[in-house]
Chains A and B, each alone.
Chain A
Amino acid sequence: AQSVTQPDIHITVSEGASLELRCNYSYGATPYLFWYVQSPGQGLQLLLKYFSGDTLVQGIKGFEAEFKRSQSSFNLRKPSVHWSDAAEYFCAVAGQFYFGTGTSLTVIP
């Protein structure tokens, strides 16, 4: 069965620091993987997606993610976090579209 796990419920980083949000998936075949961001009271905005090819994918707002089949992971990274990045981040796997429970990011000045 498909599933997505985001082990970190909440992460706090200082502005300018690097960021890595973890995502592990369970899927029988080659997965289609996504990262979305949700600001308070808003809908979900697509950050990036992986379907095939290069395992390092670039997204909007300076985010990138790396697909590692051996670890069943699709971690999201950003080299330098901005205060405006504070939001809820969701990893998802396509098929029926399963979402992780989300990681809430707080950015401190």
Chain B
Amino acid sequence: NAGVMQNPRHLVRRRGQEARLRCSPMKGHSHVYWYRQLPEEGLKFMVYLQKENIIDESGMPKERFSAEFPKEGPSILRIQQVVRGDSAAYFCASSPWGEETQYFGPGTRLLVL
């Protein structure tokens, strides 16, 4: 049973470009969560999604950031017009319906030049 998959593992973008981060949850998991980890800091919640539905996006910056979890395919975290401050590790986690435990992917390290 494959774990949570994230790609790419490393992503380099120049200021103003778009970054698209993908997350495939564990088989049978219907909930996806995105977190951001800045250097020397803990994880900060960004958004919680179910298939085709955003449940909680209270941790998402108001501009440039968006997330989706379509009926088919992976969850996508999109960052438009990236800035240097967006450089961080972005982690995805998934859980099955009705369970609190989250299982984490290996993360995507985003570097904005």
Contacts and interface: CB of A to CB of B under 8 A. Distances in A.
Interface of A: 32, 34, 36, 41-46, 49, 51, 90, 94, 96-102
Interface of B: 4, 6, 33, 35, 41-45, 48, 56, 58-59, 91, 93, 100-107, 109
B104 A96 contact: no
Contact of A51 (B41, B100, B102): B100
B101 A96 contact: no
Contact of B105 (A36, A43, A51): A43
Where chain B touches its partner, the secondary structure class is strand
Given A44-B91, A96-B45, A102-B42, A36 B56 contact: no
Contacts of A101: 41-42
A94 to B, nearest CB: 4
Contacts of A43: 4, 6, 91, 104-107
Contacts of B105: 43
Closest 5 CB pairs of A and B: A44-B104, A101-B42, A43-B106, A43-B104, A94-B100
Contacts of A98: 45
A87 to B, nearest CB: 14
Contacts of B93: 44, 97
